[in-house]
């Protein structure tokens, strides 16, 4: 029987080496093979870049009023048209998209911090801590999210930061439940038992040993939370309880233009299409991250 053993020293002497791929490199290679996720990633980068570049290059200011060009449709001079005050809608749409992206980022940051912290505590300590966190989650789940946002938005809505904070307060639930479940699984793992036997305290075990191994699903959920935040903010703004003038967002632009949909439908369709494309790209990006971070998920779905 021929000897099939590989002599690593001989390979290295011949200029050939076999190096194990890191987890990050394996994840990137799997993600790169996910076509929809890669397309979504490229589109997302181009979109977000244009949101900041276009206003800089535009000859029109965001709040520049020109009554002579009021309520015009799509043209070479104004590619997205103008509003009743003559403001350039392309520049305003880019500004509104900036606000929507900012809100999504703030919501993702706050909800991830709250959800990860509470989920980690519930999953690691269990008992009354788990019961308390579960009661908080159930309390929020009992009342529909939109109703909560509408009621609280009437009292506190208006500024961009207030809207972002309100949306974040009901967006941490899913992340908390995911982290809680992962901590229940991982807290009895061998590497955790070894750390506990070595004298590591709960804080070190939670943040240095278990949490890094639970961040994959959290990263996936961040993309989904960001998309949901854009939709929730747009819904609030459309109903007049979200971002209010002089600030603007994609939802605000759609709300301002709904009365002109029969005359100039582009005023509604353009910001609506950008909003839809943003959410779709974030969802496809999350799908690609899920498959890249956990290949078994893709095999199961196939």
Euclidean distance between CA atoms 220 and 190, whole angstroms: 26
pLDDT reported for residue 15: 52
17 lies in some domain: no
Q: Locate tokens 């870049």: which residue?
A: 49
Q: Check residue 41 and give its pLDDT.
A: 92
Q: Is residue 239 part of a domain?
A: yes
pLDDT given at position 60: 83
Residue range(s) defining the domain that contains residue 291: 34-50+89-301
Per-residue pLDDT band at 24 (split at 50, 70, 90): low
| Residue 14: per-residue pLDDT | 52
pTM as predicted: 0.81
Whether the per-residue pLDDT at 142 is higher than 70: the answer is yes
Distance set, CA 55 to CA 67, 80, 90 (Å): 20, 13, 8
Q: How confident is the model at residue 153 (pLDDT cuts 50, 70, 90)?
A: low
Quote the pLDDT of residue 4. Answer: 46
pLDDT score of 113: 92
Over residues 252-264, the pLDDT tens digits come to 888 888 877 777 7
The yes-or-no verdict on residue 155 having pLDDT over 70 is: no
- What is the pLDDT at residue 298? 46
Q: Could you give the residue ranges of the DSSP H alpha helices within 157-265?
A: 160-169, 173-186, 190-197, 202-204, 215-238, 250-257
pLDDT for the residue 130: 87
Name the β-bridge partners of 88: 82
What is the rounded average pLDDT of the residues 60-84? 80
Question: Which of 64-68, 80-84, 175-179, 295-299 is modeled with the greatest confidence?
Answer: 175-179
Relative orientation angle of helices 173-186 and 89-125, to the nearest 10 degrees: 30
> How confident is the prediction for the chain on average, in pLDDT?
80
Please, which pLDDT band fits residue 281 given cuts at 50, 70 and 90?
very high
In a domain, 23, yes or no: no
Average pLDDT over residues 200-214: 81
Q: Residue 190 domain-assigned?
A: yes
Domain count, the chain: 1
In a domain, 44, yes or no: yes
pLDDT computed for residue 29 by the predictor: 76
When pLDDT is cut at 50, 70 and 90, the band that residue 249 belongs to is confident
Return the CATH number at 131: 1.10.3720.10
Is residue 148 in some structural domain?
Answer: yes
Residue 228 lies in a domain: yes
- Average of pLDDT values for 3-7? 49
Residue 28 included in any domain: no
């Amino acid at each position: 029987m021929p000897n099939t053993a590989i002599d690593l020293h001989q390979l290295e002497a011949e200029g050939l080496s076999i190096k194990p791929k890191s987890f990050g490199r394996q994840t990137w290679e799997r993600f790169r093979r996910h076509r929809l996720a890669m397309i979504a990633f490229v589109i997302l980068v181009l979109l977000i870049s244009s949101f900041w570049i276009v206003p800089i290059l535009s000859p029109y200011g965001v709040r520049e009023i020109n009554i002579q060009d009021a309520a015009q449709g799509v043209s070479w001079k104004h590619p997205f048209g103008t509003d009743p005050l003559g403001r350039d809608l392309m520049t305003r749409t880019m500004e509104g998209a900036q606000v929507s992206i900012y809100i999504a980022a703030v919501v993702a940051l706050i909800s991830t911090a709250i959800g990860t912290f509470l989920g980690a505590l519930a999953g690691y300590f269990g008992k009354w801590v788990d019961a308390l966190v579960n009661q908080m989650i159930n309390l929020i789940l009992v009342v529909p999210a939109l109703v909560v946002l509408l009621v609280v938005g009437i009292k506190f809505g208006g500024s961009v930061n207030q809207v972002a904070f309100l949306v974040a307060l009901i967006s941490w639930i899913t992340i908390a439940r995911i982290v809680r479940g992962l901590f229940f699984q991982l807290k009895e793992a061998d590497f955790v038992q070894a750390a506990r036997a070595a004298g590591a305290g709960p804080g070190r075990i939670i943040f240095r040993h278990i949490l890094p191994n639970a961040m994959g699903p959290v990263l996936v959920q961040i993309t989904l939370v960001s998309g949901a935040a854009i939709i929730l903010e747009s819904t609030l703004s459309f109903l007049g309880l979200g971002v209010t003038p002089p600030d603007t967002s994609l939802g605000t632009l759609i709300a301002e233009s709904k009365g002109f949909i029969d005359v100039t439908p582009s005023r509604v369709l353009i910001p609506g299409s950008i909003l839809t494309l943003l959410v779709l790209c974030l969802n496809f990006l999350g799908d690609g991250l899920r498959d890249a971070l956990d290949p078994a998920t893709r095999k199961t779905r196939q």
